[in-house]
Amino acid sequence: MSHREDHEGNEDYEGRNRTSRTSKADRANRATRVHGAVGADWGAAGPAALPEPTALTTAQRSAALESMSSPEGLDVLVVGGGVTGAGIALDAASRGLRTGIVEMGDWAAGTSSWSSKLIHGGLRYLYQLDFPLVHEALTERGRLLTTTAPHLVKAQPFLWPLKHHYERSYSAVGVGMYDALAVAGARGRRTVPIQKHLGRAGTRALAPALDSSHLAGAIRFYDARVDDARLVIDLVRTAVGLGAMAASRTKVTGYLKDAHGTVTGARVTDLETGTAHEIRAAETINATGVWTEQTQDMATTEGGLKVLASKGIHIVVPRQAIDAQTGIFLRTEKSVLFIIPWPRYWVIGTTDTPWTQDVSKPVATSADIDYVLEHANEVLTRPIRREDIIGTYAGLRPLLQPHLKPGAEAASTKVSREHTVTRVAPGLTAIAGGKLTTYRVMAVDAVDHALGEARAHAHPSATADLPLVGAARYHEEAARAGEVARSRGWTLARVTHLLDRYGDELPALLAAIDEAGPEAAWDRPLALAPDFLRAEVAWAVTHEGAAHLDDVLLRRVRLDIEQRDRGLAAAQEVLEVMAPLLGWGEEEVAAERASYAARVEQIAAAENEGTDAAAVAHIEQAI
């Protein structure tokens, strides 16, 4: 079923709709309240004096649950807090709809924090002649780079090594088409540099680590990278700033239905307190990724989407392990492999293998790690060794299950990543497929579908040019980076790191440091993770919804992927900052550290196993 189809069942929406009659001017005013008044003074006093309507906190979460459970109900309830669900919540809120979003774990705890962290058009899809999909993705890439999230999304060059001279011509055509589609999607503007052809000498100059002895040269092209978890958190925060109600660690246990069988909301349980709630909504949208079938089957088992879980793993090595100024793009017998530079490390992956185990427990096996090492080392002059690896991670892609003949099997690498939206039951819409880059398009389609054509036309999406939290004045703040560095006695690299995480909220972060005072020492680097300030841990709690140690180490201050002990040694200082903000005593602090230590031990044991089944046997709880 096409994601543009199936508007049936929406005829009665007008009668059940509780949509606010919100004009474009009203939505613009809301956006102004989120991002600050145009031309506002962001100097020393800065945004600390402004209201902070986007902050995610434990108090905000409790208030959101109570508000969502009120008799007034919602226009739209979104189930799932990954990038798709977060994008849907923002899209619905941008239309002036009374919107709620619930997530059974932390924000981005599933697939959306374990991706390749790339914003890309899908260069390989050109070779499948899927031009519309590539054009759509490149258009979204341009938006993210220039308008909606320039603080988080960064242009990233890659080298495509060429083994034979004849490869240059057809590869150049493919990359040239990629560039052309990107420019077309940006209405004639260039958001990244176009391709450049290199010989052996030019290839060696950019990437001495690349074995060029058997190469004809390389093509340099551009895509972009992003901290995937931070993107999701900023989406949720932006939605909250536009009036959405958001509650993490809130699990849907069933759906509410009226006498005609129409879904009218959901029963949920607050996993922090055990309290049950009923949330009524005119429309409910299921955006739960690899959990799609589980969540939709609570409403009906007679139809809906079929999703194939495919595991992708990545390894992380220190920046000094690979001598190169650019990323590297490799085609493998199954898919592609990226060697992606970040300021302190390289991310290398991914695999693409069917997953038949518990979808809450994906983990890298020894065989997975060997596969990535083998393919990376085929092109590197200095092989990466096991002992070079400082981190690994695994995630599951929700791929749409194709219709198969009896007895046939699907290779996960051949399943389309294009998304599909369908009506599972009256009042309940489900969406699956897609990819990180096109989350906004998926969100528009999901909300349009849930509302029906007439209502969607009356209340159009307003996200195409809506800056996320931190984006609106990012470039203005970046221009002041040297001034901030001098005034604080920091390196420019330190300020750049903060800008690329918090964007135009940097003045508010600095104000929070000053207000906390010298005793809190929020301006001090973490002793065992000096690239991060103690203030970043505090901000994770006061603005980004972190309520547990793993929320910080896995998805806010991401030591889990860049330290061999997954940040365990730094955990005590992280807890020292978190505890007073969350009201924890010694018992809670000890329990948080013990839980995280158990996770570290279990994943280490799993990585020594050769099969998924053996690896999962070590994992006691969702990771």
Query: What does the pLDDT look like over 5-21, one tens digit per residue?
Result: 343 333 343 333 333 33
Q: Which residue has the higher pLDDT, 49 or 594?
A: 594
Q: Are residues 286 and 362 in the same domain?
A: no
Q: Are residues 53 and 178 in the same domain?
A: no
Q: Are residues 90 and 20 in the same domain?
A: yes
Q: Are residues 35 and 179 in the same domain?
A: no
Q: Is the pLDDT of residue 99 over 60?
A: yes
Q: Give phi and psi for 224, each to the nearest 5.
A: -150, 160
Taking a C-beta distance cutoff of 8 angstroms, is the pair 440, 140 a contact? Answer: yes
Residue 121 lies in a domain: no
pLDDT at 342: 97
Domain boundary among 224, 247, 266: 224
Q: Which residue has the higher pLDDT, 168 or 505?
A: 505
Q: Is the pLDDT of residue 438 over 50?
A: yes
> Residue 479 — very low, low, confident or very high, per pLDDT cuts 50/70/90?
very high
Q: What is the helix (H) or strand (E) element at residue 529, kind and residue range?
A: strand 529-533
Residues found in the chain: 623
pLDDT digit string (tens) for 68-81? 999 999 999 999 99
Residue 465 lies in a domain: no
Q: Looking at residues 84-107, what average pLDDT do you find?
A: 98
Residue 480 lies in a domain: no
pLDDT at 172: 72
Residue 587 lies in a domain: yes
Q: Give phi and psi for 354, each to the nearest 5.
A: -60, 145
Q: Looking at residues 367-382, what average pLDDT do you find?
A: 96
Q: Are residues 296 and 314 in the same domain?
A: no
Q: What is the helix (H) or strand (E) element at residue 397, kind and residue range?
A: strand 391-400
> Rounded distance, CA 461 to CA 476, Å?
27
Domain boundary among 188, 206, 224: 224
Q: What is the helix (H) or strand (E) element at residue 8, kind and residue range?
A: none
Secondary structure E strands in 213-292:
217-225, 245-247, 250-257, 263-270, 276-286
Q: Looking at residues 381-389, what average pLDDT do you find?
A: 97
Residue 196 lies in a domain: yes
Domain boundary among 202, 224, 246: 224
- Residues 454, 71, 30, CA angle at the centre, nearest 5°? 55
Residue 585 lies in a domain: yes
Rounded to the nearest 10 degrees, how much is the dihedral formed by the CA atoms of 338, 339, 340, 346? 140
pLDDT digit string (tens) for 283-332? 999 999 999 999 999 999 887 899 999 999 999 999 999 999 999 999 87
For the chain, give the percent of residues with pLDDT over 90.
Answer: 77
Assigned token pair, 338: 């990226």
pTM: 0.91
pLDDT at 190: 82
Secondary structure E strands in 21-104:
74-79, 99-102
Q: Give the domain extent around 279.
A: 13-112+230-306+411-458
First vs last Cα of the chain: how many Å apart?
33
pLDDT digit string (tens) for 538-594? 999 999 999 999 999 999 999 999 999 999 999 999 999 999 999 999 999 999 999
Q: Looking at residues 365-389, what average pLDDT do you find?
A: 97
Tokens 């750049």 -> residue: 496
Assigned token pair, 489: 């006695």
Count CA atoms within 13 Å of residue 596 on its CB side. Answer: 25
> Residue 416 — very low, low, confident or very high, per pLDDT cuts 50/70/90?
very low
Taking a C-beta distance cutoff of 8 angstroms, is the pair 582, 58 a contact? Answer: yes
Residue 484 lies in a domain: no
Bridge partner list, 158:
221, 327
Comparing CA positions, the residue from 63, 467, 470 lying closest to residue 230 is 470
Q: For the domain that residue 342 is a member of, what is the CATH number?
A: 3.30.9.10
Domains held by the chain: number:
4
> Residue 42 — very low, low, confident or very high, per pLDDT cuts 50/70/90?
very low
Q: Is the pLDDT of residue 2 over 70?
A: no
Q: Looking at residues 405-411, what average pLDDT do you find?
A: 47
Q: For the domain that residue 263 is a member of, what is the CATH number?
A: 3.50.50.60
Q: Are residues 65 and 37 in the same domain?
A: yes
pLDDT at 406: 52
Q: Are residues 545 and 596 in the same domain?
A: yes
Q: Looking at residues 606-622, what average pLDDT do you find?
A: 97
Taking a C-beta distance cutoff of 8 angstroms, is the pair 53, 259 a contact? Answer: no
Q: Looking at residues 333-355, what average pLDDT do you find?
A: 93
Burial bucket for residue 405 (CB in 10 Å: 0-12, 13-18, 19+): exposed
> Residue 177 — very low, low, confident or very high, per pLDDT cuts 50/70/90?
confident
Q: Are residues 395 and 267 in the same domain?
A: no
> Rounded distance, CA 240 to CA 109, Å?
19
Q: Are residues 295 and 420 in the same domain?
A: yes
CA 62, 67, 68, 71 torsion-angle sign: positive
Mean pLDDT of the chain: 89
Q: Are residues 141 and 188 in the same domain?
A: yes
Q: Are residues 385 and 424 in the same domain?
A: no
- DSSP code of 402? P
Q: Is the pLDDT of residue 128 over 80?
A: no
Residue 103 lies in a domain: yes
DSSP codes of every residue in 345-389: EEEEE---EE--S-TT-----HHHHHHHHHHHHTSBSSPPPGGG-
Q: Give phi and psi for 247, each to the nearest 5.
A: -140, 115
Taking a C-beta distance cutoff of 8 angstroms, is the pair 131, 181 a contact? Answer: yes
Q: Are residues 168 and 302 in the same domain?
A: no
Tokens 């220190």 -> residue: 318
